Structure 1
Amino acid sequence: MARRKQIYEGKAKILFEGPEPGTLIQYFKDDATAFNNQKRAVLEGKGVLNNRISEFIMLGLERIGVPTHFIRRLNMREQLIRHVEIIPLEVVVRNVAAGSIAKRLGLEEGSALPRSVIEFYYKNDALGDPMVAEEHITAFNWASPQEIDDMMALALRINDFLAGLFAGVGIRLVDFKVEFGRQYEGDMVRLVVADEISPDSCRLWDMESGDIMDKDRFRKDLGGVTEAYREVARRLGVLRDVEGQGARGPVLVTDNEK
């Protein structure tokens, strides 16, 4: 990757120029951050797992007609993606009271919400990614009213897909964050899912034990972060079991083994 021009580096990923116009290469780092980058660590293998989990989910979304920026996985840590104009919003869909909504509204952690709730957050690290209303979004021209409607509709479709996907492997989808970008095709513009969808951006609880299987393990100093991500990948069929060989790190399923 040294011969590729770096376009952007975030907390968990690096973007490089792609091999063709309109493409980028997204590299998944092992870095973990929390509390607006105040807590940081390097967790060996996390980037590999997130790369494969996000690939699996993005392909699933494409199959149900939800457009994404994903083109194909290149290797253990890299994906080829479409170059899109990122909308500066994080769209959060909540099914269960956890994290900030439980604190803000005095809800019991783990209680089911009356219905799925969508929240918008302005992507700005210096401000701590504050929650914003639709009025803010349109007033500051971050997105149009039609784009807001489209993002909400797509977010609910993604929620239905993810909830069913994870429930099928014994995992409760508590909430998740998704980002969108504008893909320009001549005079046409369409919204596509961007960034990643992985245990870094979802709250996932084991349905039987209630064990946390996501980034909250890092936030709450519970340990076993990579092991939890590996278990999510294993249940989704991204990794295969290795018996009695003392294998270190994830063992990836090849395309022929899926």
Structure 2
Amino acid sequence: MTAYSLGSLLYEGKAKRVYATDQPEVVAVEYKDDATAFNALKKAQLAGKGELNCRISALLFEHLASRGVPTHYLGVGGERWMLCRPVRVIPVEVVIRNIAAGSLCKQMPIEPGTALEPPLLDLYYKDDAYGDPLLTEARLEHLGLVTPQQRRRLEDLARQVNRELLALFGSLGLQLVDFKIELGFTTTGELVVADEISPDTCRLWDRGVADAQDRILDKDRFRQDLGGVVEAYGEVLKRVQGACPEPRVYG
């Protein structure tokens, strides 16, 4: 018997659906099998992807919580269901890059694979209609999305997530190349990590594989038509499971 009942659909994005529940401080998130890239210009259905991302995200949220990182996560509620605190998501994607890859190497004279020290933190306006543009400090101030104090807290929290994930993935033979996260405010005003942390939102390379394509264990396999997307995500789950306790079941 579940400890909650599903209510109305609140939001549907590319990879997830968010539902109200009969508990005002709990929302239910369903992870979909949809795969998208290039602002949804490329689409596919990959059976099992939603379940894998839900499980990986739950394990990583559990790990971050144990390290003092506040998140919206409350527990899992099924193979592809996660229960979370409702948050007012800030429409800013925070991207941290430890190794140069992807769009960065098209926008700047930096060779792919170059270590970035310190890690590069960028903020993007989360809006597909505008192509998720890079936010300068002046643009961020003009939009009024966060106060200067909130921005500092947002960036500090993102860097803390990076440190914790670098250490965890490094211990599992994985290189965290870069990742994006979303943050938001709970109903009590607490800033927390929201959305998901998975191979959909992280670039992960297998440190034990030299080939530049074979080492990819993230959504770049879909972007670059390399195949084996679900198998790669399964490998990430297997390694993370070996280092993190089983995710709590909400209820």
Q: TM-score, normalised by structure 1?
A: 0.89
1:72 is aligned, of 65, 70, 75, to 75
Q: CA deviation at 1:2?
A: 10
1:160 is aligned, of 163, 177, 186, to 163
- Quote the Cα distance in structure 2 between the aligned partners of 1:18 and 1:58: 21
Q: Does 1:16 align with 2:19?
A: yes
Name the Cα RMSD after superposition: 1.9
Matching of residues 1-258 of structure 1 within 5 Å: 4-185=7-188, 189-210=189-210, 211-237=215-241
- Quote the Cα distance in structure 2 between the aligned partners of 1:179 and 1:255: 22
Assess if the C-alpha contact under 8 Å between 1:9 and 1:15 holds in 2. yes
- Quote the Cα distance in structure 1 between the aligned partners of 2:127 and 2:236: 29
Against the structure 1 CA distance between its residues 23 and 103, is the aligned structure 2 distance closer, same or farther, given a 3 Å change threshold? same
Q: CA deviation at 1:32?
A: 0.4
Letter in 2 for 1:235: R
- Quote the Cα distance in structure 2 between the aligned partners of 1:154 and 1:3: 31
Assess if the C-alpha contact under 8 Å between 2:96 and 2:179 holds in 1. yes
How big is each residue's C-alpha offset from its partner over 1:165-223, in whole Å with a ceiling of 9 and x where there is no partner? 111110000000010011132xxx22000000000000000112141000000000000
Structure 1, 130-139 or 28-37: larger mean CA deviation: 130-139
Against the structure 1 CA distance between its residues 231 and 127, is the aligned structure 2 distance closer, same or farther, given a 3 Å change threshold? same
Greater relative contact order (Cα < 8 A, sep 6+): 2
- Quote the Cα distance in structure 1 between the aligned partners of 2:174 and 2:98: 13
Secondary structure in structure 2 of the residue aligned to 1:6: strand
How big is each residue's C-alpha offset from its partner over 1:44-85, in whole Å with a ceiling of 9 and x where there is no partner? 000000000000011111111110000110010101101110
How big is each residue's C-alpha offset from its partner over 1:93-138, in whole Å with a ceiling of 9 and x where there is no partner? 0000001111111211111113101000100011111111122122
Q: CA deviation at 1:254?
A: 8.4
| Aligned positions, number | 240
Specify every segment of 5 or more residues in structure 1 that has no aligned partner in the other structure, as ranges. 240-252
Q: TM-score, normalised by structure 2?
A: 0.91
Against the structure 1 CA distance between its residues 113 and 254, is the aligned structure 2 distance closer, same or farther, given a 3 Å change threshold? closer
Percent pairwise identity: 46
- Quote the Cα distance in structure 2 between the aligned partners of 1:135 and 1:151: 17
Match of 1:250 in 2: none
- Quote the Cα distance in structure 2 between the aligned partners of 1:238 and 1:74: 21
Assess if the C-alpha contact under 8 Å between 2:62 and 2:247 holds in 1. no
Match of 1:247 in 2: none
- Quote the Cα distance in structure 2 between the aligned partners of 1:43 and 1:229: 11
Assess if the C-alpha contact under 8 Å between 1:18 and 1:80 holds in 2. no
Secondary structure in structure 2 of the residue aligned to 1:155: helix
- Quote the Cα distance in structure 1 between the aligned partners of 2:91 and 2:143: 11
Letter in 2 for 1:104: Q
- Quote the Cα distance in structure 1 between the aligned partners of 2:56 and 2:164: 14
Assess if the C-alpha contact under 8 Å between 1:88 and 1:123 holds in 2. yes
